Structure 1
Amino acid sequence: MTVSSDDELARLKQIGRIVANALDAMGKAIEPGMTTLELDQVGRAFMEGAGARPAPEMVYAFPGATCISVNEEIAHGIPGDRTIRPGDLVNIDVSAEKDGYFADTGASFAVPPVTRTAERLCRDGRRAMWTGLRQVGAGKPLAGIGRAVGAFARNSGYTLVRNLASHGVGLSLHEEPTEIATWDDPSERRIMQDGLVFTVEPFLSLGAEFAENGDDPWTLYSRPRALTVQFEHTVVASRNGPLILTMPGQ
């Protein structure tokens, strides 16, 4: 999607706040002993209370309102009876639709007691995302995002999962531009147009380079198995740089 009016931008900001606040509520609700389904219900209640519809369920018939992935799971985990335990690494991906507009966000949370390794990985996962976001702006190359994130990961001793990419969003959950690499991709030649809406969502890892399927149709696992985090914002490329839509607040 390319934003073409103040009304479109206002509607994107509205759904962006909803998913951001839902993610914030879920992050604050995490505690050992609860199931991932109970955590998912926190997000569902928040989104539906704000008049939004959970996008994975709506668009793909995903069996949950949000994607919750624990430890060896790195994306698209199905909420269910898995119990969250002390020391777990929990990734939450929240996306929703309201009035025909979509936004997408995500973050990883380490459940106390937190090891220094997991704490550092979460800190640097967020830093990697912001490294990419700083490359966003009208007229800039999309490749700049992957170059910057790739350099950050390499210099900090991490790997990046290379088959889970950022994507366009706005009028649907996944749309053009598709497959925006958060790693260095020499073949990327596209330029960000003013008003372009998309996600920035690197998967930073302690050794994994790919995501692979598991036993169900949805959950993805790191290959090779390694702690992996994901942080994600929906952003608009503007002449003044990145306009981030998925910041929690009023």
Structure 2
Amino acid sequence: MIIYKTEDEIELIRQSALILSKAHGEIARLIKPGISTLSLDKVAEEFIQDNGALPSFKNYNGFPYSLCISVNSVVVHGMPSNYILNEGDIISVDCGVYKNGFHSDCAYTHPVGQVSSEVQQLLDTTKESLYKGIEQAIVGNRLGDISFAIQNYAESKNYTIVRELVGHGIGKNLHESPEVPNYGRRGQGVKLQNGLVLAIEPMVNLGTKQIVQEDDGWTIRTKDNKPSAHFEHTVVIRKDSAEVLTTFEYIDQANKS
């Protein structure tokens, strides 16, 4: 069942999303060669709790951390660890915040120091594919219009789209209906209506679209071990253009400082 949000509920999600966006900025400041991914997780958890909220992911279906940290060929659901970031790595930071009874969800893939031009292009394309999807997240369109826009853009640059993992509705639950695939056909699927809140999250691979799950039951990586990128925003379907509740502006500020 799809749950449309009232304006009051959207305001509560907006407050959650603001804390989440600022948490991303705090993490972005620390991403550089020599730092462990576990230390990033601790910073995120403290920041979220200090702002009167809870990390959505911690203890979700038994996941033990506040962040999903996915390095290089890990697509999503990577676990923070004692792994030390190296120059040339890429790191996807996926985080959720629960406040006032509502969740928000956002992800960003960062270069660590200088990365190859090939990898930077993957990051740029994946981020742009997110915004191509968001452009279609308007009243009267269909879910497939979002999916098609993401797929069409990424594949036009000769990248592949992960099929098994999808975006989702979000609200009182972290994952709600409908699922939002990153591939599909225009004009197909649920008709988009005002007040539908979605987490749109393209996952785009440099090599094969095929993925494997590691023995920890969480970590998903590319089958050919080539890099994968992941970007995500929480958005509201609106009449003329989607309202994006999360923002990358705090990440951008951190990267400039």
1:129 aligned residue: 130
TM-score in terms of structure 2 length: 0.92
SS of the residue corresponding to residue 241 of structure 1 reads: coil
- In 2, the alpha carbon distance for the partners of 1:56 and 1:98 equals 13
Whole-angstrom distance in 2 between the partners of 1:185 and 1:95: 29
Once residues 248 and 121 of structure 2 are traced to their aligned partners in structure 1, the CA distance between those partners, rounded to angstroms, is: 23
Greater mean alpha carbon deviation, residues 19-28 or residues 85-94:
19-28
Contact kept? 1:74, 1:220, Cα under 8 Å: yes
The alpha carbon displacement at 1:27 in A equals: 1.6
Are the aligned partners of 2:145 and 2:187 in contact in 1 as well (CA < 8 Å)? no
Find out whether 1:2 has 2:4 as its counterpart.
Answer: yes
Structure 1, gaps ≥5 residues long: none
Partners of 2:132 and 2:107 in 1: how far apart?
A: 16
Structure 2 runs not aligned, ≥5 long:
251-257
Q: 1:192 maps to what in 2?
A: 192
What one-letter code is carried by the residue in structure 2 that aligns with 1:3? K
User: Is 1:156 matched with 2:157?
Assistant: yes
User: 2: distance between equivalents of 1:230 and 1:63?
Assistant: 21
Q: How many residues align?
A: 248
Give the equivalent residue in structure 1 for 2:146.
145
- Cross-structure match for 1:167: 168
Please name the residue that 2:215 is paired with.
Answer: 215
Runs of 4+ in 1 over 3 A off after TM superposition: 185-188
1:143/1:186 contact within 8 Å kept: yes
TM-align CA RMSD: 1.6
Equivalence for 1:120? 121
| In 1, Cα distance between equivalents of 2:211 and 2:233 | 20
SS, match of residue 12 in structure 1: helix
Would the alpha carbon gap of residues 12 and 23 (structure 1) be closer, same or farther in structure 2, given more than 3 Å must change?
same
Establish whether residue 16 from structure 1 lines up as the match of residue 17 from structure 2: yes
CA contact (8 A) 1:208 1:228 kept: no
- Paired with 1:191 and 1:208, the residues of 2 have a C-alpha distance of 31
| Alignment correspondent of 2:57 | 56
1:48 match: secondary structure: helix
Match of residue 81 from structure 1:
82
1:233 is matched with 233
1:249 Cα deviation from its structure 2 partner: 6.2
Q: Work out whether residues 17 and 248 of structure 1, in 8 Å CA contact, stay in contact via their aligned partners in 2.
A: no
CA deviation profile, 1:76-109 (whole Å, cap 9, x unmatched): 1111111111111101001010111000000101
Distance 2:5 2:187 in 1: 26
For normalisation by structure 1, the TM-score amounts to 0.94
Local SS of the residue matching 2:57? helix
Whichever residue aligns with residue 97 of structure 2, its letter is A
Task: Tell me how far 1:208 sits from its aligned partner.
Answer: 2.7
Q: Partner of 1:193: helix, strand, or coil?
A: coil
What SS does the corresponding residue of 2:208 show, helix, strand or coil? coil
Tell me if structure 1 keeps the 8 A contact 2:200–2:232: yes
How far, CA to CA, are the matches of 2:112 and 2:120 in structure 1?
Answer: 10
Bigger CA drift: 51-60 or 143-152? 51-60
